A and B are shown apart, each in its own frame.
Chain A
Amino acid sequence: MTIVYSVLFMSVLGVGAGIFLAFASAKFAVKKDPRIALIEASLPGANCGACGFPGCAAFAKAVAEGKAPIEGCIPGKRSGVPEKLKLILDTDIDKLIALFDENEEDAEKTLEKLLASSGKAVKAAPPKIQRPTQEEIDSYKEKLKENPRAAVIFAVLPNINCALCGSPGCAAFAIKVANKDEDIAKCVPGKPQNVSQKVAKIMALSEAELQKIIEETSGEPAEIKKKFAS
């Protein structure tokens, strides 16, 4: 009998406490800032770190708090991200919360509605980027050894493997650029580092000159990069 009573008593108490807490958490629920979710949904999602924040989520939070400029997202600059962020930040917060609730807190859907209702022409969202796996990156790095021009180009790239260019990693992109299959302008994070000029210089070099650079630096990318620093 004692066992039955103990089990019953504890069950009733446990379920009672659970129901009480469930009610309390629903009653005192804290609304999160919908702007953070919306800003994150409008970013490319590459987590490339070019903005200076650790990942897109951190950048979104900083923009919502006014600690980061809306032009901070370098890969998203040309695909209309700053315009979208401006729209989100300029919209009345109560209106945003209402819209967010209406769409069951789905950030992507809310963003779509918000863009549609704004009437202003905002460029379509860039496709979400699939980042390459470490194996893919490494397999292309192996191939660099057979291609001195690609190896030198690889050395001047940012080497963050953000995949914004559409190639699986910086090594793969360098090989394509060396074979003139790809345009260096596609390396968006490399822009502030004048990668385009450096690559133009490399493309003008002859095979012998390239071999010389590789020998001088024993193929160390950091050493090669120093040669093109100016």
Chain B
Amino acid sequence: MATRLVFIFLSAILINNFVLSRFLGICPFLGVSRKTDTAVGMSIAVTFVMILASIITWILNIALDALGLPFLRTIVFILVIATLVQFVEIFLKKASPGLYEALGIFLPLITTNCAILGLALLNVQQNYTLVETIVNSAGAGLGFALALILFSTIRERMELSEIPEPFKGTAIALITAGLLSMAFMGFQGLVKL
């Protein structure tokens, strides 16, 4: 049981990293990775929404199955995620106006972050128990944080380096993201579930 949880956790962070292996949540990955401060804030917000959303969607999924309404899954999950993101936004506005300003448009855009909906749907597909769901979501959130923070530090470093004119800005960022993703491919086969 415990080893399975560890495997799920590690696999969510490294092998099936949401950004670098599943290519979900690319928008904030490129959008908020210019500064490490905002990247950390975004990672915390996304991880929080991920864990909370997957717990609530797991419970709602039981109700959906019992009522024979599995086709409502996507729309119900989107509603839950949207509500949670709104809550995070209201909370951040009160608790940390600086972070709220820094995240800007990307905060409400967590609503449409496919990583979160993807996670909720994958949890259901894999028939995870509640504990497994929480562990998987925490791993997915940390994986997202790992990718985002790694990438933001690289981008901060790149600000100081001399980059050929045609590669400046988004071009070099996309190439870097590709290389980072290829590096993460090296984790494939680390854990077999």
Contacts and interface: CB of A to CB of B under 8 A. Distances in A.
Given A13-B76, A17-B79, A30-B94, A6 B69 contact: yes
Interface stretch (B17-25, B80-88, B110-118, B123-131): B80-88
B88 to A, nearest CB: 10
A83 to B, nearest CB: 32
B64 interface: yes
Interface stretch (A20-28, A110-118, A133-141, A201-209): A20-28
Interface residues of A, number: 15
Contacts of A222: none
A5 B65 CA distance: 12
Tell me the interface secondary structure of chain B in the complex.
Answer: helix
Report, as a range, how many residues of chain B touch the other chain: 20 to 34
A2 B67 CA distance: 8
Contact of B69 (A2, A25, A30): A2
A25 B90 contact: yes
Interface in B55-94: 60, 63-64, 67-69, 72, 75-76, 79-80, 82-83, 86-87, 90-91, 93-94
B69 A17 contact: no
Interface string B39-65: 000000000000000000000100110
B91 A24 contact: yes
A28 B93 contact: yes
A2 B90 contact: no
A25 B68 CA distance: 34
A114 B49 CA distance: 45
B87 A20 contact: yes
A30 B64 contact: no
Contacts of A2: 68-69
A29 B95 CA distance: 10
B93 to A, nearest CB: 6
Contacts of A10: 72, 75-76, 79
B74 to A, nearest CB: 12
A6 B63 CA distance: 11
Contacts of B67: 5, 9
Contacts of A30: 93-94, 97
B90 A9 contact: no
Contacts of A28: 90-91, 93-95
8 contacts: A6-B69, A6-B72, A9-B64, A10-B76, A13-B76, A17-B79, A17-B80, A28-B90
Interface of A: 2, 5-6, 9-10, 13-14, 17, 20-21, 24-25, 28-30
Interface of B: 60, 63-64, 67-69, 72, 75-76, 79-80, 82-83, 86-87, 90-91, 93-95, 97
Given A17-B82, A24-B87, 16 more contacts: A2-B69, A9-B67, A10-B72, A10-B75, A10-B76, A10-B79, A13-B60, A13-B79, A13-B80, A20-B83, A21-B83, A24-B91, A28-B91, A28-B93, A28-B94, A30-B93
